[in-house]
Amino acid sequence: MSSGARPPSPEPRNESYSFGPFRLETRERRLLRDGQPVPLTDKAFDLLEALVKRPGRLLHKEELMHLVWPDAAVEENNLTVTMSALRKALGEGPTDRHYVETVPRHGYRFVADVREVGEREAEGTPHAPAVAESPADEAARPRPFGRPRARLVGITTALIVAVAMGLALWLRHPPAETIAATSSVAVLPFHSLTRGEDEYLGLGMADAVITRLGSTRTVIVRSTGAVREYVRSDLDPLAAGRELGVDAVLEGSIQTAAGRLRATMRLLRVRDGATLWAESFDEPAGDIFSLQDSISERVSKALALRLTEAQRTLLARHDTEDVEAYHLYLKGRFFWNKRTREGFRRGLALFEEAAARDPAYARAHVGVADSHIGLAYYEYERPRDAMPRATAAALKALALAPTLAEAHVSLAHIKGNYEWDWTAAEQEWRQALALDPDYATAHQWYAVHYLTPTGRLEEARQEARRAQQLDPLSPVFNAFVGATLLFSRRPDEAIEECRKTIDLYPEFGVGHWYLGRAYLQKGRRPEAVAELTEAVRLSGGSPLMLGTLASAQAAAGDPRQARQIVDELLRLRRDHYASAVSLAVAHAALGEREEALRWLEEAASERAFHLVYLTVWPELDALRGEPRFAAMVRRVGLAP
């Protein structure tokens, strides 16, 4: 007789897919690597499942967004962010794409070999097999009652307590031999456990520890730019360490409560996940610098760094004592790194506010200088308006901190690209690199803004690679490796480098700009137009990028479009600013040599930044035989 109860619904089939060292189990919703769980967000799991179930097939972005967000209207950026998280979970770095291939402007394809695993095999693998107990084992098993059992429990408890205490002491003071091989470390952004707390606090804490450990020069420390992408609470720190190519990672969490600022830190060895050191800290909420001091000191001890007295002083150095100014500076750098009109302007406002709060804060003045330099470089401000302000800010920073490498870098850029004083520029570059050989931006700017204009292209490529090595996941440093190859007339290699950048950062306009120019140099004109159009869109309409798009349109046999861009550049020049160099590039592509030369002479009068690339700029090759062009090269101080 039926009870009336429904029979239980059958469990869904546990589809399992194997690829490389990974196994994806759909019913359990877990990803395993060599049998160990890999943390994934729900949407990253859904994205991976969609790709793995369709190996080798191009999945367009619209289809993927429908599969992963079936009941929600989302923007393409959601897919980009989720794909980035998935790549990191799979351990894919800037150059290796073993699993997911990006098809620019279309979508993604899963390229690894996928094998569907049987349900029994999938369910049996991660669990230890049951072992039957023999009669001898059963006889030897302790009885459940009586004094012998009680004594055993007491002894076991004492042993557990002793082991726990010993482990705690070991974690606080690890033996030197366990960490002697740690020559490189990445400090990941700390996770905030306080709801609504600004994420810049976690990034700021990491930045402080990075700066202080790096200043000792006793261990290689990945830059803040390199770890910026890891501001997520669900990341796998060991996967991040493998991607960053370091021996150890420092991860932590922070929380404000009852007027206290609490932090918990762990130093993990990337090779095997071993905890080299762990500790908790508790400081008054308004004393963030004391917390940074404590963490930096304890980490240096955990890494067994042998520090001189001068190095200990550097470890405890504060650039400012004003916490709010410090946070304003960090936010400013966040926006500055976007390399867009809005990013530079928001960054400038934040740097100026930081400098107003603490006029002695040298790095804030460097931020002001670098913002004006960026606005002039990407043609958002007139050089004659921007650069005197940049110069004043850089000199102010140097007066406050004569040994600050960042300030020398800013001044070096100004001396070369604006004042055309190449001797003074080289002196500043050399001083900056001597003060901080691991400052990645110094190597990148030296490569692109000094060595390239002066024709030292082999050295430029080496310096650009050095910046990339110091900060391997930076979209800027990856893109500018492609730039040095472009100027060296090596378009195939430039295309390869720029594609890697866009694969990692599809929304980074500068990467599309250099890729488009490399396609143009190679004669692949439709692809050049497509990439340069995307660069203009992503940059918010940079006149610099509009000029090269006009060049590509003309080369592709569409002079009407090129002339429309010329008209747009003239309008921008009236209303805001567009460099005369961009207009010269457009007219040169249209075959209008006299107009192109006239605009180059105008560029010299306005001190246009990109005039310094006269000897290497591919889009100006048609003008090289002109006497007026040669005179312009001499005027800029670049004649051999």
Distance, CA of 295 to CA of 290 (rounded, Å): 9
Q: Which of 88-97, 599-608, 626-635 has the lowest mean pLDDT?
A: 88-97
**Position with higher pLDDT, 439 vs 451:** 451
Percentage of the chain surpassing pLDDT 70?
Answer: 75
Statement: residue 307 has pLDDT above 50? no
pLDDT band at 199 (very low <50, low <70, confident <90, very high): low
How far is residue 601 from each of residues 59, 193, 628, measured CA to CA in Å? 50, 58, 9
pLDDT band at 223 (very low <50, low <70, confident <90, very high): confident
Inter-axis angle of helices 61-68 and 76-90, nearest 10: 80
Average predicted confidence (pLDDT) for the chain: 79
3-class secondary structure, 29: coil
For residue 548, which of 617, 498, 485, 624 has the smallest C-alpha distance? Answer: 617
Distance, CA of 341 to CA of 213 (rounded, Å): 33
Distance, CA of 286 to CA of 123 (rounded, Å): 51
pLDDT band at 165 (very low <50, low <70, confident <90, very high): very low
Statement: residue 557 has pLDDT above 50? yes
Inter-axis angle of helices 475-487 and 457-470, nearest 10: 170
Q: Which of 1-5, 347-351, 369-373, 480-484 has the lowest mean pLDDT?
A: 1-5
Mean pLDDT of all residues in 252-258: 72
Q: Which of 8-17, 74-83, 420-429, 538-547 has the lowest mean pLDDT?
A: 8-17
**Position with higher pLDDT, 635 vs 196:** 635
N-to-C CA span, the chain: 103
What tens digit of pLDDT does each residue of 381-390 get?
889 999 999 9
pLDDT at 569: 94
Q: Is 128 exposed, middle or buried (0-12, 13-18, 19+ CB in 10 A)?
A: exposed
Q: Are 577 and 382 in contact (CB under 8 A)?
A: yes
Encoded tokens for 548: 């090269």
All structural domains of the chain with their residue ranges? 16-123, 177-318, 541-640
For residue 250, which of 262, 264, 271 has the smallest C-alpha distance? Answer: 264
Inter-axis angle of helices 362-377 and 405-417, nearest 10: 30
pLDDT at 302: 60
pLDDT at 298: 65
Statement: residue 553 has pLDDT above 80? yes
Mean pLDDT of all residues in 520-525: 94
Domain 177-318 is classified in which CATH homologous superfamily? ABC-type transport auxiliary lipoprotein component (3.40.50.10610)
Statement: residue 613 has pLDDT above 60? yes
**Position with higher pLDDT, 334 vs 258:** 334
Identify the sign of the CA torsion 442, 448, 452, 456: positive
Return phi, psi of residue 142, to 5°. -60, 145
Identify the sign of the CA torsion 233, 238, 240, 244: positive
CATH architecture of the domain with residue range 16-123: Orthogonal Bundle (1.10)
Looking at residue 89, its amino acid is A
Statement: residue 186 has pLDDT above 70? yes
Q: Are 92 and 100 in contact (CB under 8 A)?
A: yes
Statement: residue 397 has pLDDT above 90? yes
Q: Are 605 and 636 in contact (CB under 8 A)?
A: no
Q: Which of 126-140, 298-312, 526-540, 587-601 has the lowest mean pLDDT?
A: 126-140
Statement: residue 556 has pLDDT above 80? yes
Mean pLDDT of all residues in 463-474: 84
pLDDT at 612: 93
Statement: residue 546 has pLDDT above 90? yes
Q: Tell me the DSSP string of 266-315.
A: EEEETTT--EEEEEEEEEETT-HHHHHHHHHHHHHHHTT----HHHHHHH
Mean pLDDT of all residues in 359-387: 92
3-state secondary structure 302-347: HCCCCCCHHHHHHHCCCCCCCHHHHHHHHHHHHHHCCCCHHHHHHH
Statement: residue 14 has pLDDT above 50? yes
pLDDT at 137: 38
Give the strand order in the sheet containing 16-19: 36-38, 30-33, 22-25, 16-19, 115-117
Mean pLDDT of all residues in 222-234: 69
Distance, CA of 580 to CA of 573 (rounded, Å): 9
pLDDT band at 336 (very low <50, low <70, confident <90, very high): confident
Q: Which of 70-84, 519-533, 585-599 has the lowest mean pLDDT?
A: 70-84
**Residue whose entry in the numeric block shows the structure tokens 């137009």:** 529
pLDDT band at 561 (very low <50, low <70, confident <90, very high): very high
pLDDT at 62: 83
3-state secondary structure 381-397: CCHHHHHHHHHHHHHHH
Mean pLDDT of all residues in 541-551: 91
Statement: residue 147 has pLDDT above 70? no
What tens digit of pLDDT does each residue of 28-57 get?
888 888 888 887 777 888 899 999 998 888
pLDDT at 571: 93
pLDDT at 125: 43
**Residue whose entry in the numeric block shows the structure tokens 């499942």:** 49
**Position with higher pLDDT, 608 vs 217:** 608
pLDDT band at 178 (very low <50, low <70, confident <90, very high): very low
pLDDT at 595: 95
Mean pLDDT of all residues in 137-146: 37
**Residue whose entry in the numeric block shows the structure tokens 């950062």:** 505
Percentage of the chain surpassing pLDDT 90?
Answer: 39
Q: Which of 75-79, 463-467, 539-543, 591-595 has the lowest mean pLDDT?
A: 75-79
pLDDT band at 318 (very low <50, low <70, confident <90, very high): low
Statement: residue 7 has pLDDT above 60? no
Statement: residue 495 has pLDDT above 90? yes
